[in-house]
Amino acid sequence: MVIEQDALSDEVRAGMLARVRARLGDPLVVLLAHATRETPPGDWDLVIRRPVTIGEVADAVQRFLPDAGSTGPIDC
């Protein structure tokens, strides 16, 4: 799951990640953050700072996905 920093308010962020992780079985959570702002608190698996291309986001997320032939996550 990729979350854009501007889409979060303090009220939403406070409990959102825990609820989403519980509901979806602890998915990968990536924050697409601003280059010059402080990273907001949260249980982020990965923080990617702007400027960034869609391809760079896809490549970063793919590093965390299991290999097609494996049964577990890839060691990073």
SS (H, E, C) 4-40: EHHHCCHHHHHHHHHHHHHHHCCCCCEEEECCCCCCC
**What pLDDT was estimated at residue 33?**
94
Residue 31's Cβ-side half-sphere holds a number of Cα atoms within 13 Å equal to 21
Residue matched to tokens 């854009």:
4
Per-residue pLDDT of the chain (76 residues; tens, 9 = 90+): 888 888 877 666 667 777 888 898 878 889 999 999 999 888 888 999 999 999 999 998 888 877 766 665 555 5
Whether pTM > 0.85 for this model: the answer is no
Instruction: Give me the residue spans of the domains in the chain.
Output: 2-62
Q: Which residues pair with 2 in a beta bridge?
A: 30
**What pLDDT was estimated at residue 1?**
86
**What pLDDT was estimated at residue 19?**
84
